[in-house]
Structure 1
Amino acid sequence: MEATVAQVQGGYFLITGQWPIFSIRTFIMVTGPKTDLWLVKTVGAVLAVIGAALIAAGLADQVTQAVVLLAVASAAALAAVDVIYASRKIIASVYLLDAVLEAALIAWWVASLLL
């Protein structure tokens, strides 16, 4: 099951990470105005790289403890940023949807490790 979780999270990160790189206009339409577009694209690139690594690990059935740590910790970090800054109204509340998805991924990892 870990390989499947890695591939799903990897796909989500790869797609959402590439989005601001390939269409910053639509990204801003959904997520709200940004001041530092270079930073948005940098974070996107890093997420896309994490996503690609998770997909590769899942496809090769090589989901090690390090891969699980990367997956869970990155999802937790993103969820924390989403909740903290959306609650302070620094970022749009649409980011709370991402926080829910990140929490679901973490729960799926926990379930896959316990089964």
Structure 2
Amino acid sequence: MTKPETGKVLSNVFLFQGAYFVITGIWPLLGMDSFIAATGPKQDTWLVEMVGLLSASIGLTFIVASLRRQKLPLVLGYSVALSFLAMDLIYVISGVIGRVYLLDGAIQLVFIVTVSFLVIKRKSNLF
């Protein structure tokens, strides 16, 4: 894979992650009952909705950058994925949230590893 192709794949990874963030972000706004059924009970639904809106906003940023072939927000991508991954792991392990959140953690980890591999590949001639 040449470097321009690597950039296109990286852009597609951000496009996928953006779509994932938008879909999962608006889910509680469109159907809190189904969201709670899938993820477990919540005390502060307003907070769930706020995190959802932030997630959707970040997702839209990823989608727009990818579709417009703009510089990808790598720092935002890493920091958001690491934040979700950390919270998923910490709070599943402590029993605060259900194990279903490990699926989200896995998606975040795949994003982190894939982006890291593509960035390294793009900046080097190792592959």
User: TM exceeds 0.5?
Assistant: yes
Distance in 2, Cα, partners of 1:99 & 1:60:
28
Unaligned runs of 5+ in 2: 1-8, 122-127
Distance in 2, Cα, partners of 1:24 & 1:63:
35
- Pairing 1:43-82 to 2, within 5 Å after superposition: 43-64=51-72, 67-82=73-88
Is 2:93 the partner of 1:87? yes
1:12 paired residue number:
20
Distance in 2, Cα, partners of 1:71 & 1:61:
16
Deviation at 1:97, TM superposition (A): 1.0
User: 103, 107, 112: which is aligned to 2:109?
Assistant: 103
Maintained 8 Å contact 1:2/1:63: no
CA displacement, residues 5-63 of structure 1 (integer Å, 9 cap, x when unaligned): 11011000010001011110100000000000000000000000000000000001113
Of the two, which has the highest radius of gyration? 2
How many residue pairs get aligned? The number is 113
Distance in 1, Cα, partners of 2:69 & 2:91:
36
Per the normalisation by structure 1, the TM-score is 0.95
Unaligned runs of 5+ in 1: none
Residue 23 of structure 2: SS of its match in structure 1?
helix
- Alignment-mate amino acid for residue 99 of structure 2: S
**Identical columns (%):** 37
Give RMSD over aligned pairs.
0.8
Per the normalisation by structure 2, the TM-score is 0.86
After the TM superposition, which parts of structure 1 deviate over 6 Å for at least 4 consecutive aligned residues?
A: none
